[in-house]
Amino acid sequence: MTEKPLIGVERAKALHELHGWAEAKGRDAITKTYQFKSFSHAWGFMSRVALFAEKTDHHPEWFNVYGRLEVTLSTHSAGGVTEKDITLARKMDQLSAEA
């Protein structure tokens, strides 16, 4: 079953429920920048996210410099933001609170 992009009220509601996530400029995706106190903390977070991403077969795009991690989520096969992205964003926020 193929995921369908979230649109309209459904998408706005999902994005509103996420802390610090925003629409990505120039593409159908959501984005957030996390700031950790060190590279080690950022790397540990990325490792925990990677384990979840593998289990769910849904992987983030990310860019890391020292303690800063820029994340972009989009379901490429659906051509936009789907419930898979919202689920991964929620999990990332949960894991960052534990870091």
User: Residues 43-96: pLDDT tens digits?
Assistant: 999 999 999 999 999 999 999 999 999 999 999 999 999 999 999 999 999 999
Q: Considering the domain boundaries, does residue 2 fall inside one?
A: no
Q: What is the CATH number of the domain that holds 39?
A: 3.30.1360.20
Number of domains in the chain: 1
User: Residues 17-28: pLDDT tens digits?
Assistant: 999 999 999 999
Domain that holds residue 20: 8-98
* Distances 53 to 8, 16, 85, 91 between C-alpha atoms, Å: 26, 23, 11, 10
Indicate the pTM of the whole model.
Answer: 0.94
Question: Are 13 and 21 in contact, with CB atoms under 8 Å apart?
Answer: no
Q: How far is residue 89's CA from residue 87's CA, in Å, rounded to a whole number?
A: 5
Q: Considering the domain boundaries, does residue 35 fall inside one?
A: yes
Question: Are 92 and 41 in contact, with CB atoms under 8 Å apart?
Answer: no
Q: Which residue has the tokens 């459904």?
A: 10
pLDDT exceeds 60 at position 1: no
Q: Considering the domain boundaries, does residue 77 fall inside one?
A: yes
Q: Considering the domain boundaries, does residue 75 fall inside one?
A: yes
